[in-house]
Structures are given as C-alpha cells and as structure tokens.
C-alpha cells in the first residue's frame, strides 16, 4: 500500500496536553512520520482542513454484545420520551415494527428522569399489549419492566421466589408489579427465544461499525461468555475491526468449568482479560449495596457477593499460579506454559 500524507490538521502527539503537529505520513495503516505541513513531501496529500486527529479511543468497560442486541429496540430515553404516556406510545410504534408474536422490546427508562417520577410497571406495559410480551430495560440495565404476558411466559406469579441477588417487585397483595430487579432479570431473559449465531454475528459487525464512527478502536466486553470468543472472531472475519478484551462472567466459569487457553486467547486481537464478579447493583437504581437504607425507602440494595463466590474465585486464581505458587499473570518476562482459566 503506498504512503499517504495528511496535512493542515491538528494532530495530537500525546507528549503533553498541548503538543500538536499539522501533518503525518501513513503507510500500511501505521503512522510513520509526524511534523509540519511544510515538510510533507507528497504530490497529493489529504487536506484535513484544520480538523483534530487523536489516537483511537479505548472503551475499557462496555457491552458490545448488548449494544448489538438493543440496536433495533425502542429507545425510552429523554428528550424523545419524557413521561410514561410517551413511553407507551414509543413501544406501540415498536410493536408495529416487530414480527407478529415477537417480544416488544425497549431500553433506557429512568424513573428519576420521567415527569411521572415512577418506574414503568406491568399495568403500563399491558396498555402496549396483553397478547404479546413486552420487556423494557432500565437505563442502568440492572432492572427492567415487563407486562403480564412476559410474566406468564417466564412462569412468574405470586408464588415465585426471589432469586439470590435479585427481586421480583410485588404490590401490597404479593402480586408481581412487573418490575424485575438485578438477578430477577434472568428469569425474563431465559423465557425469550434465543437469537441465532448468524443474527448475533451480524449485530456485532454492525455495532463495530458504529463504534468506529465514534473513534473507538478497542473495547472490553464486560459480560463475556465462553462462546463469545468464537462469536467475536467470526465477526472479525466479517468486518468487526476493534481489538476486544473479554471478561467472563463468574457464573459462566463456575457452570462450564475451567478451560485450557491457547496463546491467542491470552494475547490475540480477541482475547480473555479476566473474570467478572458482581458485588451489587447501581446507585441510580437503588440496588447498590449500602450500610444505611436509601432515602425514602427501607431498602439497602442487593448484595450479589458471598463467601462461597469469593472462595470459588480464589480457587480459580490459584489455578492461574505457576508451580512455585507465584502468580505469573501480569509479571514482565513471565508466560505460563499451560495456561488455564
């Protein structure tokens, strides 16, 4: 590939906050020279017209697989949606675009931003549909609201027990309100039809293009699963260009066991960076675990970490140690002969 010069720009060098140059030379996708535009010896340079050039951004805590899933859903966010009536209207429009019988889905509501000052519930969402399931994630993606049909498909009623680290919110009679908190969301997710591998790959490729438009060249997947390694690598062959670090959910490791890792699993463009354990929820959703109750409530949040989880993760970590018992991970000049996770 021939070299290409770029001139008349404001190119950030990274040496300090104010160090910029006006020109650069790119060969085979790599910047091999920077300097003043007057020294750019090229017959047909690209004129940046004063635009700023910075290195690619690294999003160190993201959910590209989730972004791919919600791309076609209704955005229940301000300023487009300011109250519950507008949320219902947006979801009804979403229903028109969703195949018959399919789940009507949305995301982004926040009761602290809605003029009504309260969360969506099943009675609101029953106005969208009583025949089809409706599921709308909160802005923090730690809680959600569903309609009566979704509760029915998930087998949730007055007798359903709260899962550990989660809550099925109930009214004064003990009936579910449709608000699913933290780990209770999994009951809903398990009731949904699974996307095909092809659908997931296409969604990831589209998400990669969107990330690129915002200058994001590296990203972390913080809700990783074992099969995501294969999924993202297949997406890479189809045009997913970001470097990606996968953090595996602890539940995934605990359920499916420890696997032997290859060199590319540790150091490739699509690689594993670690294991993620949840301690609790979010401040805005009042699910972060607190010593004192949240103002206006009797709740202190939801703990999702206990001694069994800590001990289990400790065993995983011990398996990552070398024969002498010293942790190799992250030590300069050390590399495991038999890497496991």
Checking 92-100 for CB contacts under 8 A at 24+ apart, the result is 92/128, 95/128, 95/129, 95/132, 97/72, 98/132
- pLDDT computed for residue 313 by the predictor: 61
CA distance 263 to 338: 10
Band of the pLDDT at 262, cuts 50, 70, 90? confident
Checking 303-310 for CB contacts under 8 A at 24+ apart, the result is 303/165, 303/279, 304/164, 304/165, 304/182, 304/183, 304/278, 304/279, 304/280, 305/277, 305/278, 305/279, 305/280, 309/250, 309/277
- pLDDT computed for residue 59 by the predictor: 96
- pLDDT computed for residue 2 by the predictor: 81
Q: What is the mean pLDDT of the chain?
A: 89
- pLDDT computed for residue 294 by the predictor: 92
Band of the pLDDT at 279, cuts 50, 70, 90? confident
Residue 339 has pLDDT above 80, yes or no: no
- pLDDT computed for residue 101 by the predictor: 83
Residue 182 has pLDDT above 70, yes or no: yes
Helix (H, G, I), strand (E, B) or coil at 157: coil
pLDDT tens per residue, range 87-124:
999 999 999 999 888 999 999 999 999 999 999 999 99
- pLDDT computed for residue 312 by the predictor: 63
Task: Enumerate the β-bridge partners of residue 327.
Answer: 321
- pLDDT computed for residue 322 by the predictor: 40
DSSP string over 234-287: HHHHTT--SEEEEEEEHHHHHHH---B--HHHHHSSEEEEEEE------TTTT-
Specify the DSSP class assigned to residue 39: G
- pLDDT computed for residue 118 by the predictor: 96
Interacting residues of 330 by C-beta distance below 8 A, sequence separation 6+? none
- pLDDT computed for residue 280 by the predictor: 86
pLDDT tens per residue, range 116-168:
999 999 999 999 999 999 999 999 999 999 999 999 999 999 999 999 889 99
Residue 333 has pLDDT above 70, yes or no: no
Residue 341 has pLDDT above 60, yes or no: no
Report the DSSP pairing between strands 4-7 and 46-47.
parallel
- pLDDT computed for residue 251 by the predictor: 83
pLDDT tens per residue, range 223-250:
999 999 999 999 999 999 999 999 999 8
Query: Are the C-beta atoms of residues 135 and 188 closer than 8 Å to each other?
Result: yes
pLDDT tens per residue, range 286-327:
889 899 999 988 889 888 776 666 666 666 556 654 433 333
**CA distances in angstroms from 199 to 69, 73, 142, 326, listed in the order given:** 9, 15, 24, 43
What's the sign of the alpha-carbon dihedral 284, 288, 290, 292?
Answer: positive
- pLDDT computed for residue 256 by the predictor: 79
pTM, 2 dp: 0.79
Residue 34 has pLDDT above 90, yes or no: yes
- pLDDT computed for residue 334 by the predictor: 33
Which pair of tokens denotes residue 295?
A: 């103002």
């Amino acid at each position: 590939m021939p070299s290409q010069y770029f001139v008349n720009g404001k190119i950030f060098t990274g040496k300090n906050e104010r160090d910029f140059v006006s020109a650069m030379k790119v060969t085979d996708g790599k910047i091999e020279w920077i300097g003043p535009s007057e020294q750019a010896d090229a017959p047909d340079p690209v004129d940046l017209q004063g635009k700023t050039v910075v290195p690619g951004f690294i999003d160190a805590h993201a959910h590209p697989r989730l972004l791919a899933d919600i791309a076609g859903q209704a955005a229940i966010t301000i300023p487009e949606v300011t109250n519950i009536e507008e949320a219902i209207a947006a979801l009804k429009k979403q229903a028109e675009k969703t195949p018959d019988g399919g789940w009507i889905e949305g995301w982004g509501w926040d009761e602290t931003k809605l003029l009504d000052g309260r969360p969506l519930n099943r009675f609101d969402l029953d106005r969208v549909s009583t025949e089809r399931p409706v599921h709308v994630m909160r802005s923090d993606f730690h809680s959600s609201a569903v309609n009566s049909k979704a509760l029915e498909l998930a087998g949730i009623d007055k007798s359903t027990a709260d899962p550990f680290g989660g809550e099925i919110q109930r009214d004064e009679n003990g009936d579910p309100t449709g608000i699913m908190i933290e780990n209770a969301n999994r009951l809903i997710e398990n009731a949904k039809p699974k996307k095909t591998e092809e659908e997931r790959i296409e969604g990831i490729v589209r998400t990669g293009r969107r990330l690129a438009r915002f200058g994001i060249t590296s990203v972390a997947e913080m809700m990783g699963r074992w099969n995501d390694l294969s999924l993202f690598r297949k997406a890479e062959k189809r045009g997913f260009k970001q470097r990606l670090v996968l953090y595996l959910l602890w539940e995934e490791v605990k359920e499916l066991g420890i696997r032997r890792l290859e060199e590319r699993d540790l150091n490739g463009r699509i690689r594993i960076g670690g294991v993620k354990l949840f301690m609790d929820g979010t401040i805005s959703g009042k699910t972060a675990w607190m010593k004192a109750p949240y103002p206006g409530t009797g709740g202190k949040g939801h703990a999702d970490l206990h001694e069994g989880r800590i001990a289990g993760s400790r065993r995983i970590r011990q398996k990552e140690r070398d024969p002498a018992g010293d942790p190799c991970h992250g030590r300069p000049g050390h590399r495991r002969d038999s890497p496991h996770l």
